[in-house]
Amino acid sequence: MSETTPGRMPTTEAPLQAGNVLESLRMRYVESCPPDYEPGASVDIFYSSDEFWTKFERWLREAPDFYPASDKAFVESVVRVDGARAVNIGTYYPWAEIEWGARAAEWVGLDNNPHVVARARDVLARFPGHRVTLIEADVTEPLELAGGFDFVLDLSTFDHLDPRRFDVILDNYKRLSDRLVMAYDATRAPIVDYDFERCGFNARLNPATIAAMLEEVGYTIECHRPYAHEEYRSYILARL
């Protein structure tokens, strides 16, 4: 794969080996990562800025049903939200908490950035009646959070997390629930496309890669809709 945009690094095109997907993704990241780069720090800087939060505030005022309609449609087509216990990974745009927090029996939002959590709390104060608990937590480290949730929701947070920690992240998801609902940014590159500038860091996974990765850790793919929106936004439902 050749480099196509600034910050997007080439990775090898050797095929993934069955049963070794996580290690292959880890090694590709190590090979392509710029010197002294840490995705966590870069992503924190990006999500602590005001630019995209200002856009979200404008969406809330002017078009509250807009963001993002495709994610809403997929989630509600594969899981029952009403009366469910759900954990949502990443709360930068707390639209999921606004949309479903009053309909779920229990809604827990996790984010590792205290600035993001504080902003989400401020927004949710405008929406009384929700059953949302926001927790500052790093899913790239083992979580001390009881499981038993009806589903884990990850709407394109996984894309921005350290690929060297994918195994820990997925172990956390598995402990929390036997169902995982994901939105992710896909690539038509053979395996993966690591972009070190977009959103601080963005790992676009080939749909075959993410399916193989989830199957490697014990999931069964129940629904998969690659390139369902805007030519890259993709969705997957997996169950243990």
pLDDT in tens, 19-33: 699 999 999 999 998
* Domain range summary for the chain, segments of one domain joined by +: 12-239
Please tell me the predicted confidence (pLDDT) of residue 15.
Answer: 58
Quick check: 200 pLDDT over 60?
A: yes
Q: What is the pLDDT of residues 59-116, one digit of tens each?
A: 777 776 666 789 999 999 999 999 999 999 999 888 899 999 999 999 999 999 898 8
Residue 11 has pLDDT above 50, yes or no: no
- Residue 14's pLDDT is what? 57
pLDDT at 132: 96
Q: Per-residue pLDDT for 5 more than 50?
A: no
Q: Are 43 and 160 in contact (CB under 8 A)?
A: yes
CA distance 153 to 71: 11
Mean of all residue pLDDT scores within the chain: 87
**Does 45 have pLDDT greater than 80?**
no
Write down the CATH number for the domain with range 12-239. 3.40.50.150
Q: Tell whether the torsion through CA atoms of 81, 93, 227 and 40 is positive or negative.
A: negative
Residues 206-219 as b or e (16 or more Cβ within 10 Å = b):
bbebbbbbbebbeb
Query: Average pLDDT for residues 213-223, to the nearest whole number?
Result: 98
pLDDT at 181 over 90: yes
Distance, in Å, from the CA atom of 228 to the CA atom of 202, rounded to the nearest integer, reads 18
Q: Is the dihedral of CA 51, 56, 62, 67 positive or negative?
A: positive
Token duo for residue 57: 């505030």
**Residue 10 clears pLDDT 60, i.e. is over it:** no
Work out the average pLDDT over 157-186.
96
CA dist., res. 235 & res. 19, Å (int): 22
Whole-number percent of the chain with pLDDT over 70: 90
Q: Is residue 151 scored above 50 in pLDDT?
A: yes
Residue 3 has pLDDT above 60, yes or no: no
The pLDDT of residue 37 is: 81
Percent of the chain with pLDDT over 90: 65
